[in-house]
């Protein structure tokens, strides 16, 4: 295996986010994670586990530039649970052989909306918490 140098460590500085095909330039952080739901299974004296399902959840944080929550809130008030598509990409120019990591996540719903959260003298950031079905998530490009 070739020797890897520190500059090949990926940096989130080069991350990009799209929601429903719109690039979110003011995003500062995204996290998407999949958790295995498990039930205990006792075998003799040992307690093992059985995976019974997968749960997708996460969040993304944006610097306050636009009123992003308005459309989602208006749909919620009408009883509509509109879903979104997210694409997250990491395009670090120092990546091994210039490779890119990209993930696509469909059937994304919002759990919480930051409507008003302002502090004098501070940059305003809004964190949107989300959920998704893991079967609607796929890796589009991997750094190998």
* Cα dihedral 89, 90, 93, 94 sign: negative
- DSSP assignment, residue 114? -
In the predicted structure, residue 88 carries a pLDDT above the cut 60:
yes
Structurally, the chain folds into a number of domains equal to: 1
85 part of a folded domain: yes
- DSSP assignment, residue 26? T
CATH number at residue 107: 2.30.110.40
125 part of a folded domain: yes
Kindly report the pTM of this predicted structure: 0.86
7 part of a folded domain: no
135 part of a folded domain: yes
In the predicted structure, residue 33 carries a pLDDT above the cut 60:
yes
What region, left, alpha or beta, does residue 14 occupy, with left being phi > 0 and alpha being psi -120 to 50 degrees? Answer: alpha
| Predicted local confidence at residue 62, as pLDDT | 94
117 part of a folded domain: yes
First-to-last alpha carbon distance for the chain, in angstroms, is 12
Domain that holds residue 53: 12-37+47-141
């Amino acid at each position: 295996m070739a020797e890897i140098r520190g500059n090949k460590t990926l940096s989130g500085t080069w991350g990009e986010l799209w929601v429903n095909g719109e690039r979110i330039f003011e995003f500062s952080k995204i996290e998407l994670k999949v958790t295995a739901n498990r039930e205990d299974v006792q075998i003799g004296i040992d307690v093992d586990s059985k995976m019974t399902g997968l749960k997708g959840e996460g969040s993304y944080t944006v610097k306050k530039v636009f009123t992003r929550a308005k459309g989602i809130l208006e749909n919620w008030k009408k009883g509509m649970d509109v879903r979104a598509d997210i694409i997250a990409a990491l395009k670090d120019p120092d990546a091994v052989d210039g490779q890119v990591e990209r993930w696509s996540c469909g059937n994304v719903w919002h759990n919480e909306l930051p409507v008003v959260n302002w502090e004098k003298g501070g940059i305003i950031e809004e964190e949107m918490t989300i959920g998704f079905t893991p079967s609607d998530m796929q890796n589009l490009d991997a750094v190998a």
